[in-house]
């Protein structure tokens, strides 16, 4: 029996203010790496909600996605060693731009996130060897050239949201 191949669905927040972009620095098996505030789509979650959640968890700022910048695919391969198996993951990234809200007091950065930082496009291009995703520069370049799509391009059917169980819990 063969296993069906599935890409890993992710979201990313492309956040720009005053000519600089908000990135995060995070711990990975390859060391400290830079990335957009980004992460995986959770079960029962829309793409827009996932992007807002990931941005909040990784930056401590509320983020309201207003437009889709683009949909991207990349592949990550990590060779295995004696201690762990190899990894081969294809990512399907939905990148959004939007409005950055205030810093939420009382929150802390998500586990593994070292810090947030604002970088210029030139600094981002120059740090490509430290990028967690090869899509960081492409998403930024598409944003800078004004590529935007309305959120109405994305439809999330009501069946995606978990159904309530008895007692107010959700499935």
pLDDT at 78: 75
Domain architecture of the chain: domains with CATH: 8-78+86-168 (3.90.79.10)
Length of the chain counted residue by residue: 171
pLDDT tens for 122-149 read 999 999 999 999 999 999 999 999 999 9
Model pLDDT, residue 85: 73
Sign of the alpha-carbon dihedral angle for 84, 90, 92, 97: positive
Q: How far apart are alpha carbons 105 and 56 in whole angstroms? A: 11
- Cβ–Cβ < 8 Å for 134, 32: no
Q: What is the pLDDT of residues 14-43, one digit of tens each?
A: 999 999 999 999 999 889 999 999 999 999
Instruction: Say yes or no to pLDDT of 73 above 90.
Output: yes
Q: pLDDT by residue (tens digit) across 107-119?
A: 999 999 999 999 9
Output the pLDDT for position 169: 55
163 or 171, higher pLDDT:
163
Q: What is the largest CA-CA distance in the chain?
A: 54
CA distance 41 to 44: 9
pLDDT category, 77, cuts 50, 70, 90? confident
pLDDT for the residue numbered 89:
85
Mean residue pLDDT across the chain: 92
Residues 6+ apart with CB under 8 A from 9: 40, 41, 47, 92, 94
Which of the four pLDDT bands, split at 50, 70 and 90, describes residue 46?
very high
């Amino acid at each position: 029996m063969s296993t069906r191949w599935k890409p890993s669905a992710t979201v990313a927040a492309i956040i720009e203010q005053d000519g600089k972009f908000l990135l995060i620095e995070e711990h990975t098996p390859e060391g400290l790496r830079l990335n957009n505030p980004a992460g995986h789509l959770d079960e029962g979650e829309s793409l827009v909600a996932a992007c807002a959640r990931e941005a909040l968890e990784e930056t401590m700022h509320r983020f309201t996605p207003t437009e889709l910048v683009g949909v991207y695919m990349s592949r990550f391969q990590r060779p295995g060693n004696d201690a762990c198996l190899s990894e081969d993951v294809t990512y399907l990234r939905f990148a959004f731009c939007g409005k950055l809200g205030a810093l939420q007091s009382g929150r802390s950065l998500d586990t593994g996130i070292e810090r947030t930082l604002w970088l210029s496009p030139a600094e981002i291009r120059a740090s490509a060897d430290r990028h967690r995703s090869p899509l960081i520069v492409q998403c930024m370049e598409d944003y800078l050239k004004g590529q935007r799509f309305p959120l109405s391009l994305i439809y999330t059917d009501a069946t995606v949201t978990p159904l309530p169980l008895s007692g107010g819990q959700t499935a």
